[in-house]
Amino acid sequence: MISLFLILISALFFVGIITKTKAKIAARKMPSILQPLYDVIRLFKKGAVYSSTTSLIFKIAPIVYFSSVLLAAFFIPFDGKAGLLSFHGDFVFFAYLLAIGKFLMIIAAMDTGSGFEGMGASREALYSMLVEPAFFILAASVALFTNNISFHKLFTHFHIGSNLSYAIGSAFIYVLFYIAMVENSRMPVDDPKTHLELTMVHEVMVLDNSGFDLALIHIATWLKFAIYGSLIANFLIKSTWNIYEQIAGYLVIQFAFACIVGILEAFKARNKMYKNPQWIIVLSAIAVVGFLTTLIITQKIILD
């Protein structure tokens, strides 16, 4: 229950911290850290408008997307305790919960009959397909390292105690960080502030969404960022810390995660569109190196 509460709290401030960081770097007047929340509240007060070409799929997709992301948050452990939902192999169910929501958003974009939204849906599907192996290779590596196959036990039994384990832990955090960026269509794969439909990915997919539906989509994105930040925090927080130290450490890590995203987006240009698949595949390559390193650590491979 603590993990879900912390994820919800972190999600409320995450995008605001990113925006504030970018504004500070650009020496611009900084908006309130709660401005994204105010924008969502305003959207909730507006009615949704539906094109005559859309079907029921378009109307239910934002609800399914939000529900799938919220349910995925139930699996995140904290303080050495399992999440509200936990079972063997739950990280597979977690990944495909997120995939279900994204799948509905993709077909909802195609349901509009818009060439632009169909183009964005195609890119989103490609990037998700390419980043999926990186997540599963990473999860398999930790499972091999700990001899466990549930989120709770993966993090409870993950201990860093050698140079090799430091290397694999750093690689996992790096890959997880950029998986979060790809899954949320942020830099360097996509620019959420671009105004050119030809180069958009996620933003062009939701051009037809409005009001309540668009608010749910924004909140789901915040939750996904907080969820991935929680996974990173679980790698870094030690189970020997008391509960107050763990909560403080969690909040610091989420804050640092948001600041790093803001700094990255302030200084890094977006990849050229044709380079994105190559860049995402590199994440899987790094995950494979981490997997091979795990095999060496666990002596599944013995080097002469």
Q: What is the pLDDT of residue 276?
A: 83
For 81, phi and psi rounded to 5 degrees?
-115, 150
Q: Would you call 33 helix, strand, or coil by DSSP? A: coil
Tokens (6 digits) for 245: 């130290």
pLDDT digits (tens, 9 = 90+) for 119-171: 888 888 888 888 888 888 888 888 887 777 777 777 776 665 555 567 777 77
Work out the widest C-alpha separation in the chain, in whole angstroms: 68
The mean per-residue pLDDT over the stretch 221-246 comes to: 85
Instruction: Give 14's DSSP letter.
Output: H
Q: Which of 68-77, 191-200, 266-275 has the lowest mean pLDDT?
A: 191-200
Angle at Cα 11 formed by Cα 279 and Cα 273, nearest 5°? 20
Give the integer Cα–Cα distance in Å for 68 and 179: 18
Q: Which residues pair with 78 in a beta bridge?
A: 81
pLDDT digits (tens, 9 = 90+) for 157-193: 666 555 556 777 777 888 888 888 888 888 777 777 7
Give the integer Cα–Cα distance in Å for 51 and 208: 8
Of 151, 159, 153, 119, whose CA–CA distance to 135 is shortest? 151
Tokens (6 digits) for 77: 């452990």
Give the integer Cα–Cα distance in Å for 258 and 18: 5
Asked if 112 and 167 count as a contact pair (C-beta separation under 8 A), the reply is no
Give the integer Cα–Cα distance in Å for 106 and 88: 29
